[in-house]
Amino acid sequence: MHELAVTEEIIKTVLEASGGRKVKTIEIVIGDLSSFIDESIRFYFGLLTKETSLEEADLLFKRIPVKLRCYNCQKEFKPDETLLCPYCNNLGGDIIQGREFYIESIEVEDEDRDNKEHFRCQ
Ligand SMILES: [Zn+2]
């Protein structure tokens, strides 16, 4: 299960970014083509953050739908199971969206209100 490795990576990144402050929310973006399972990440996260500054953090998962760019007409579309372009009926295209996996933001408890940090990691 690679969710464990990925969860460890998330925790490491957030611990560094938050500098020991209490973390309230962590927003994670997952493309629909990425094989990571939200619930597994949530499970490992709960186990691995006991008695740390991340213990009470909420994990928010944002799913990104798959998008293709048609090989033929170059238009972007969200494929159904046929993978046919709705504009020209050609089959398939380049994947331009749906493989994402990164931390979009973390929110820490702090004297400053609204202390949201945005960053990306692959
Ligand atoms: Zn097309």
Q: Residue 34 Cα, ligand 1 centroid: separation in angstroms?
A: 24
Q: Residue 84 Cα, ligand 1 centroid: separation in angstroms?
A: 8
Residue by residue, DSSP assigns 30-73 as: EETTS---HHHHHHHHHHHTTTSTTTTPEEEEEEE--EEEETTT
Q: Residue 16 Cα, ligand 1 centroid: separation in angstroms?
A: 45
Domain that holds residue 10: 2-114
In a domain, 49, yes or no: yes
**pLDDT confidence of residue 85:** 98
- What's the number of domains the chain is made of? 1
In a domain, 120, yes or no: no
State mean pLDDT over 33-59.
95
In a domain, 90, yes or no: yes
CA 15 to mean position of chain CA atoms? 17
Backbone angles phi, psi at 11, to 5 degrees: -60, -45
In a domain, 119, yes or no: no
CATH assignment of the domain containing 55: 3.30.2320.80
Residues 56-82 pLDDT 10s: 999 999 999 999 999 999 999 999 999
Maximum CA extent, the chain: 56
In a domain, 26, yes or no: yes
Residue type, 40: S
In a domain, 122, yes or no: no
| 3-class secondary structure, 89 | coil
